[in-house]
Amino acid sequence: MSPHLSSLQQALQQADLIWLALPQGYDQQALYQALARSRPCRLWPAPAAAHHLWLVPELQALDEQAQQAVLAALLSGLPEGAQALICAPLLSPLEGRLRGAGLTPLRLGPTRLAWGQGELADWLAAEQIPAETAAPWSARLGQWPLAWRLWQQARQCDEPTEGLLQAWGLALLDPVLAQLPAPLPLALALQAQTNPLDEPRLLQLANLSAGQWREWRGLLCQAGWLLAREDGDHWQPWIAELLGLWREQPQLDWAPLSHWLAQWPLADIQALYPARPLPQLALSLFSRIGLPCLELGQGAWLAEQLDRLPALWLRQQPALCLLQAWLAMELHRRSDWAEEYLQILSFQVLEPEEAASARLLQAMISFNFDHLQDAQQQLAQLGEQLPQPLLAPYRLTQAMALLFCGQLARARTQLDLLVSWADCQQQYHLKLAAWYRLAQLHYLQGDWQLAGRVIQTALEFVQQQDLKQDRLLDSLYRLQAEICLQRGEPDQADYWLGQGSALTAPLGDYWRLPYLSHQALCLIWRGPPQALADCLEQLEQQRFGQQYCRMWQFRAGYALALGYQQRGDQASLARLRQRTPWHERLADLYDLQDNLLHAWLAQSLAVPLPRPQLESLVATAEQWQVHWLAQQARLLILLGQGTADPEPWHPLLAWLAGRQTVLPLLLAGPQAVAPLQSLSRWPQTSPSVLTLVQQTLDRLTRPLDTGDELPQGEELSQRQWQILRLIAQGLSNEQMARQLFVAPSTIKTHINHLYAKLGVRTRAEAQAVARQRLLGG
C-alpha cells in the first residue's frame, strides 16, 4: 500500500527533519522512486554532493557505529535548506541530539496506513463493491485499508462475515500484543473506546514511565493502531473494536492490571471500569477492592457491577460469592441472604484470607440471629491477626458483641476508638456505623440527650462529606424517630422516617418491618383508630412472615403489644405472648428484651409474672447498665403490686419525666390510672412528674367519638355498652341522663354495676377501659 504522497510532499516542504514510521516489510525502494520523480534524491550513504532531500535507511537496522555516522553527517554535512527523511519505526535515542542541533521533527506517524479523502471510494469502485454494501461498515473499519481488505476477503468466504472478520482481526492483534509488557495490553484494551487516548491515565494504569511509553507508542503507530492528530493519538476504529473483543477472552490474566488498578482512588476506578462486564477482570479486581468499597459506602456501585455478571458464574467463584455475602450483609442488611451464600461456600475450597472473611461473616450472622456466644467464639478464633480489609468489620462486630452482651463500658471505649481510627483511615461508612452503635448504646442506657447529640454529629458529618446516599443513614434516622416517638412527637418522627424510607425503598419489602413498627407508634399517638388496626395487622404478618434480626423483632413486638393494649385486644395479646419466648438464662441483651416483652404481655393479660422473676430482670439490666430496660421492669413490679401509693411510684416517674417518655405508661394502660391519679394529688410530686402524669392521663382517658354502632357481647348489656360509650366520650352523669332520657340516679346505678364488671373504681379508670373496649370493637 502506498502512502498519500501529496501529504508527504507538503510536509517535507514545511519541516527541517521528518521521522516517518514505516511498517515492517514496507517497500522503501518504491517510496524512494516515487519521491525521486518529484525531487532529486539519493540513497544514504552518499553525502558527497548537496541534495535537496536526503533519505536515511531505518536507523534500527544500523549498528551503533553506523548510527553515529548518520548523526555526524546530519549535524555537519546537511546542506543549508536541505531536508532529510529518516526511516525509523521508533524514536531513536539520537533524537535528543538532533533536537539540540535545531532539527525539529514532524511525525507523520501511520497516516500512510489510512486512506485519504476519496481513496476509499476509489478502492470500492475498483473492487466493484456497491456503496450501500460498504456503508454499514464505514464507522467500524474507518479509513484503514487493511481492515477493508480483510472484510473483502471475508465477504468472499462461505462463513459469516462478522465472525470471520473478528477471528482474522484478533489474529492480527496477537503479534503486536505479545511484544507489549504486562499490564500494558490490558490497559490499552480498557481505553480502546477513548479518543483521543488519555495518555496520563494510560501511563498510570499500565505503570509505565513516559520514556517507556514513547517506545511502545512507536510500535503501536508502526502497526497502524494509533493515528497521530493535533489533539492527540486516536484509535483506528476497527482496532478499538477488536481490542474490545480481545479483552473479553477468558484466558487473559487480569491480575497485573488489577494489582495496579486496586491502588487507585475508587472514583478513578469507577470512571475507568468498562461498561460491558468483564468477568475475569471483575474476579481479579473486586476480590481486591470489594471490602474497601463497602467501607467507603460504595456498596451500591459494587452490587451494580456484580449484577451484570452471570449469576451461575458468580456462585462458582469463591471470591465473588463471598463478596456477594458481604453485600447482602452490609448493603442489603439481609443476614438470611448472607447465610445462603456462606452455605454455597461451605462446599468450596477457600484461600486462608477467604476462610477468615467467611468466619467473620458467620460471626456477624450469629450476632443478628443467634445467641452471641457463637459470635464471640468465632471472633475469638479469628483473633487480631487478620488481613487489613477485615480489621474494620472485625472491630465493629467485636464492639457490637460487647454491647449486646451487656459490657456497655467496654463497648463504648471500643466504639470511641473505632470512630477515631475510621476518621484517620477516611473510612466514613465505618465511622457512621460506629456512631450509630454509640447512639444506640446511649439510648439503651437511657441517656437520650447524649444519643441525640451523637446522631446530630453524625448527620452534620454526612452533610460535610456528602454521604447522603449511604444507606446506613436509615438506621440513624429510625433511631432519631424512635426517640421522638418516646417523647410523644409523631410529626418529628414522621420527618425522620420519611428520610430513611427514601433510602430503603430500593431494598424491597423486607425493610417494611421497622417502618411499620414506627408507623404503628405514630398512629397510637394520633390515630385514626381504623388505620392503627390495619397497621397492626400488617405488622404482625410481616414480623412472623420472614426471619429478621432479633432487635427488629423486639421493636416490632413492642409496637404490637402497645397497639393491642391501647385497643384492649386480648386475643391478639395472648397470641403475641405465645410467640414471644421466655429465657430461663439470660445470655445476652436479646434474651433480656424477649423476657421484658413477655412480661409486658403477661401484665396486659392480667397474669403478671412472679415478682422474683421481674426482680431478676431488673438486676440483670442494672448489671449490664441497660437502665432503660431496668426501669421498665421496675414499672412492671409496681403494676404487679397493684398499689396506688405515690411514694414508690415517684422515683420511677421522675426518671421517665427526665426523658419525657410516656410510652411505657401507655403500655401499662388502665392499670396505671389509679397510681397516676394518686401522684396528681400528692403534695410532694415534682412539677416535671406532675406534667408527665397529666400528659399520660390525658392520653389514657381522652374522650373518644365512638359513632353509632356498639359492640356486641355477653359480658355487658346493651344499656351498659351505651353508658360505656358515653363515659369514653367524657360525659358527666347528668349529661348521660339527659341523652338517655333517664334519671341521674339510674345512670349512677348502671355505672356502679359497670364498674364492678370492668374491675375499676374511678371514672378515669373507667374512661381508660372504655377507650380500650370501644377502640378494639
**What is the grid cell recorded at 153?**
476477503
Distance of alpha carbon 691 from alpha carbon 252, whole angstroms: 74
Q: Mind listing the pLDDT tens digit for each residue in 128-164?
A: 889 889 888 888 888 888 888 888 888 888 778 888 8
Q: What is the pLDDT of residue 73?
A: 66
- Is there a cis peptide before residue 506, judged by omega within 30 degrees of 0? no
Query: In 3D, which of 369, 432, 372, 429 has the Cα closest to residue 400?
Result: 372
What b/e readout covers 406-422, taking b as 16+ CB neighbours within 10 angstroms? bbbeebbebbeebbebb
Query: Residue 84's beta-bridge partner residues?
Result: 17, 54
User: Reduced to 3 states, what is the DSSP secondary structure of residue 46?
Assistant: coil
- Whether residue 4 has pLDDT greater than 80: no
Q: Check residues 353 and 63 and name the one with the higher pLDDT.
A: 353
Q: What is the largest CA-CA distance in the chain?
A: 142
Q: What is the pLDDT of residue 103?
A: 61
**Residues 623-647: what's their mean pLDDT?**
92
Q: What is the pLDDT of residue 95?
A: 61
Contact 652, 468 (CB under 8 A): no
Distance of alpha carbon 552 from alpha carbon 543, whole angstroms: 9
Kindly tell me the sign of the dihedral angle through the C-alpha atoms of 291, 293, 295, 297: negative
Q: Which helix (H) or strand (E) holds 329?
A: helix 318-330
Backbone angles phi, psi at 281, to 5 degrees: -65, -40
Contact 316, 347 (CB under 8 A): no
224: which residues sit within 8 A by CB, 6+ positions away? 23, 110, 113, 114, 144, 146, 236, 239
Q: Which of 97-106, 210-219, 516-525 has the lowest mean pLDDT?
A: 97-106
**What is the grid cell recorded at 89?**
519505526
Give one DSSP letter per residue of 260-319, joined into a string.
HHTTS-HHHHHHHS-SS--HHHHHHHHHHHHHHHHHTT-HHHHHHHHHTS-HHHHHH-HH
User: Reduced to 3 states, what is the DSSP secondary structure of residue 248?
Assistant: coil
Distance of alpha carbon 438 from alpha carbon 413, whole angstroms: 10
**Residues 512-535: what's their mean pLDDT?**
87
Q: Which of 59-73, 444-458, 516-530, 534-548 has the lowest mean pLDDT?
A: 59-73
Q: What percent of the chain stands above pLDDT 70?
A: 82
Length of the chain in terms of residues written: 777
Kindly tell me the sign of the dihedral angle through the C-alpha atoms of 482, 485, 486, 489: positive
Q: Mind listing the pLDDT tens digit for each residue in 215-227?
A: 888 888 777 788 8
Distance from CA of residue 528 to its chain's centroid? 37
Q: What is the pLDDT of residue 512?
A: 86
**What is the grid cell recorded at 208?**
509505565
Four-CA torsion 743, 744, 750, 751, nearest 10 degrees: 170
Distance of alpha carbon 607 from alpha carbon 600, whole angstroms: 10
Q: How confident is the model at residue 634 (pLDDT cuts 50, 70, 90)?
A: very high
- Whether residue 32 has pLDDT greater than 60: no
Kindly tell me the sign of the dihedral angle through the C-alpha atoms of 54, 60, 61, 67: positive
- Whether residue 168 has pLDDT greater than 80: yes
End-to-end Cα spacing for the chain: 94
Q: Mind listing the pLDDT tens digit for each residue in 590-609?
A: 999 999 999 999 999 989 99
Q: What is the mean pLDDT of the chain?
A: 80
**Residues 178-193: what's their mean pLDDT?**
87
User: Reduced to 3 states, what is the DSSP secondary structure of residue 557?
Assistant: helix
Query: In 3D, which of 617, 588, 513 has the Cα closest to residue 558?
Result: 513
- Whether residue 43 has pLDDT greater than 70: no
Distance from CA of residue 736 to its chain's centroid? 61
- Whether residue 738 has pLDDT greater than 50: yes
Q: What is the pLDDT of residue 195?
A: 86
Q: Mind listing the pLDDT tens digit for each residue in 417-459?
A: 999 988 888 888 889 999 999 999 999 999 999 999 999 999 9
**Residues 613-625: what's their mean pLDDT?**
94
Q: Mind listing the pLDDT tens digit for each residue in 665-719?
A: 888 888 888 888 888 889 899 999 999 988 888 888 777 665 545 455 556 777 7
Pairing mode of beta strands 232-235, 226-229: antiparallel
Query: In 3D, which of 502, 472, 174, 191 has the Cα closest to residue 332?
Result: 472
DSSP H helices, 426-509, are: 428-445, 448-465, 473-486, 490-504
Q: Which of 40-49, 90-99, 175-184, 482-491 has the lowest mean pLDDT?
A: 40-49
Query: Residue 19's beta-bridge partner residues?
Result: 86
Q: What is the pLDDT of residue 438?
A: 95
Q: What is the pLDDT of residue 191?
A: 86
Q: What is the pLDDT of residue 600?
A: 94
Query: In 3D, which of 128, 171, 163, 125 has the Cα closest to residue 146?
Result: 171
**Residues 482-492: what's their mean pLDDT?**
90
Distance of alpha carbon 701 from alpha carbon 678, whole angstroms: 15
Distance of alpha carbon 596 from alpha carbon 14, whole angstroms: 92
Distance of alpha carbon 468 from alpha carbon 459, whole angstroms: 9
Q: What is the pLDDT of residue 106?
A: 46
Distance of alpha carbon 111 from alpha carbon 90, whole angstroms: 15
Distance of alpha carbon 370 from alpha carbon 393, whole angstroms: 19
Q: Which helix (H) or strand (E) holds 56?
A: strand 53-56
- Whether residue 611 has pLDDT greater than 90: yes
Four-CA torsion 518, 523, 529, 530, nearest 10 degrees: -50
